[in-house]
Structure formats: C-alpha cells, structure tokens
Amino acid sequence: MTPRSSKPVKQGISIDRDSPLPYYLQLKNTLIEQIESGHWQPGDQLPSEPELCRHFGVSRTVVRQALKEMTYEGMVLREKGKGTFVAEPKISSTSLVHSLVGFHQDMTERGLKMADKILEQSILPASQKIAANLQLEDLSPVIKIDRLRYVEDEPVVLVASFLPYEPCRKLVSADLTEESLYAYLEKEYDLRIVRGRRLIDAVGANEHQSNLLEIELGSPLIRIESISYLENGTPIEYFHALFRGDRSRFEVEILRFQGQGKLREAMGIKQEEEFLI
C-alpha cells in the first residue's frame, strides 16, 4: 500500500449535538461512511487529529477514541510520526474454516486474481508429528509442498502441505502454480477429500516468514493447521498455513444441535482422532 496525502472531510458533515450517540461514535461512523463510499481509498491519509478536531468541533480525546476503535477493527492504520491511513480491505474466506473448498477455488470464485509461487516440492522422511497426523510410520516418505500464495499480486499466505508418497507419487513433479491441489488429487487419482479438522491460533512472524510475506518482523499471523480425510477416513493431507493478520479474516457459520456423538458417528469421525501438536 502506497500512502497518499490527506484529503479533507466532505463539506456539510458535522456532529449532531442532540443525538444520544456519544461524539466519538458519531465521528467513527462518519469516517467509516466516507471510507466505504470511496471518498477515502486504501492508502489515503486521513486528516490529522487537530484538523478533525477543528472540523467537527470536538476534543482530541473524542478523535483519538474514534481512531482507536477504527484501528482495532482494521479500518485504518496508525503510523507514529506519519499519521492515520485507510487500510487495505481484508480478504474474507469461509472455505478454510467450515468447508472443504480450497483457498485457490474460493478466491477464484470471488473474482480475485490468484497466483502461487512454489518454494519447495520434494520427498522427505516424515517427522514424528507429520507421520502421526497422516497415520504413517515414522520416517515414511511424504511429499512436501511449500507455497507462497498471492491474491491480487500481494503475498497473503504461506502454506506447507504434506501428503503420503503413496498414492500421490506424481504430485512431486506436478505443476500446481495454476491448479488447486484438491482438484489435482481428484482429477489425477480420484481422491476426494470429504472432511477435515482444523486448528486456528495466532503467532508472530519470524524473519523468514516476514521476508516472504513482506511484513514487519513479529507481525501477527493467523495459523491454521489441518488434516484432510478421504471418504474411507484415511488422512491424505496435513498442512499448516500462515495468513497475514492485516489482510485476512475468516467467517464461520455454526449450528446448534443435540446428539453430538451420533453426528460424529454419522460423519465417520473416530473419538480418538486428534492432532499431534
């Protein structure tokens, strides 16, 4: 994102002194409306705190509270000594938390430009953790695929996938730069992934990750670990993905139901299945 110089607030917009809404909330809503209407674009610098105080006739405390909440919500970025800038909109994904549509397919169906850079595609002996998650013997051969994934020409996610060498041996030389891994498995081997288990947590970017994702060292990342299963219950893929926290959000739809044990049984989920963390 290239910062641009500030553009003043639209004329004719003011604080309603008779409204029951607190001043800071009115100001916040007004600023967000101007971002969403396109008056300010991603990368634009907002007017300074003193300018906002003068325009709206409010105290600096009110302005700071409004900008603080907008920062928490990811609408703006505040840079010390430089000012406040409109943030790039986050890339919303539903596929990675409650469905098995791949990230490539999800982004493509949303009309976003996707590209993958293959960092590594090799055969190696499975570590204890990888072997356990794929239900293999320790040191069994697995295929590792490291990918840096771009959305609209911006690096967004770093993914390491591990699959058993058998029955996926041709995968080590497959061209996955323009094709979904799941689509390749189904087309080439008739292997259909029907369910998965995913863990989500937050970590800070190390030097290697920050360089690849073009972010500051220690920047927040959303980490997803996943095991994907075939129809017969065999695990076929273990992956961990690191998403830029400033560019990603995930939507989850949940249902309330009774009889969790019966549902697990109907889905073929064994009670003892768990991640090796």
| pLDDT of 190 | 92
Across the chain, mean pLDDT equals 83
Is residue 74 situated within a structural domain? Answer: yes
Is residue 126 situated within a structural domain? Answer: yes
Does residue 202 share a domain with residue 113?
A: yes
Comparing CA positions, the residue from 100, 180, 170 lying closest to residue 147 is 180
| pLDDT of 114 | 80
Does residue 162 share a domain with residue 74?
A: no
Is residue 13 situated within a structural domain? Answer: no
Residue where one domain finishes, among candidates 64, 86, 108: 86
CATH no. for residue 95?
3.40.1410.10
Percent of the chain predicted with pLDDT > 70: 81
| pLDDT of 267 | 53
| pLDDT of 98 | 45
| Residue 218 domain boundaries | 91-266
Does residue 195 share a domain with residue 74?
A: no
Does residue 144 share a domain with residue 35?
A: no
| pLDDT of 5 | 57
Does residue 209 share a domain with residue 119?
A: yes
- As a whole number of angstroms, the distance between CA 121 and CA 167 comes to 16
Non-local (6+) Cβ contacts of 136 within 8 A are 126, 130, 142, 164
Question: In Å, how far from its chain's centre is CA 237?
Answer: 19
User: Rg of the chain over CA atoms, in angstroms?
Assistant: 23
0.75 surpassed by pTM: no
Does residue 27 share a domain with residue 51?
A: yes
Does residue 97 share a domain with residue 61?
A: no
- As a whole number of angstroms, the distance between CA 101 and CA 117 comes to 20
pLDDT exceeds cutoff 70 at 111? no
Averaged pLDDT, 74-89: 85
The verdict on whether omega for the bond into residue 167 sits within 30 degrees of 0, i.e. cis, is: yes
- As a whole number of angstroms, the distance between CA 134 and CA 112 comes to 32
Residue where one domain finishes, among candidates 49, 71, 86: 86
CATH no. for residue 37?
1.10.10.10
Does residue 249 share a domain with residue 123?
A: yes
Averaged pLDDT, 27-32: 92
State which of 3-12, 90-99, 213-222 shows the largest mean pLDDT: 213-222
Is residue 17 situated within a structural domain? Answer: no
* Residues pairing with 160 in the sheet: 146, 240
- pLDDT tens for 170-224 read 999 999 888 888 889 999 999 998 888 888 999 999 999 999 999 989 989 999 9
Confidence of residue 241 (pLDDT cuts 50, 70, 90): very high
Residue where one domain finishes, among candidates 86, 116, 140: 86
Is 207 within 8 Å of 217 (Cβ atoms)?
yes
Does residue 257 share a domain with residue 123?
A: yes
Quote the number of domains for the chain: 2
